[in-house]
Amino acid sequence: MKRVEDYIKSIPDFPQKGIIFRDVTSVLESADGFSLAIDEMNKLLDGVDYNLIAGTESRGFIFGAPLAYMNKKGFIPVRKKGKLPRETVEMSYDLEYGSATIEIHKDAIKPGDRVVLVDDLIATGGTIQASAKLIEQLGGEVVKMIFLIELPDLGGRKVLAGYDVESIVQYQGE
């Protein structure tokens, strides 16, 4: 039986020399791989009390929306600045080379909402940390963070200390 990591392609020297890029599009291209990835991520939600799933742009949408559908939960998109039509709240954060700003609709999260955050990959943790802060700013509680891939050596778990963080596949030292 295949595992999720069997569907992930590793691309050396992308986007720059010395980096091994973990390509999730190869998971999505396979019906079996995509189904397996969603099923494995869904197992991480067993026993979790939540009412919303939030996914970060853009691959968090790809994995978060099917999980919300399967579990009959609402889905909240966390978008790059300027992409949402209603009133928003925003958070800026630093990237390895520069900064970014994300936002969610101001009325998407109600006080007391229990939210699971979903993304394809956790590396440094900056995007998901900013997403959590936005949810908390609106009165929601982040009860779990789930990822398909984790790059532990980049320190994302340390940035997210205090949150329940789980991933399906971990790649050490890269």
What pLDDT was estimated at residue 94?
85
pLDDT in tens, 97-151: 789 999 999 999 999 999 999 999 999 999 999 999 999 999 999 999 999 999 9
Cis peptide before 15 (omega within 30 of 0): yes
**Which of 37, 69, 39 minimizes the C-alpha distance to 53?**
69
Q: List, by residue number, the catalytic residues.
A: 59, 96
Rounded Cα gap, residues 168 and 174, in angstroms: 16
Place 174 in a pLDDT band, splitting at 50, 70 and 90: low
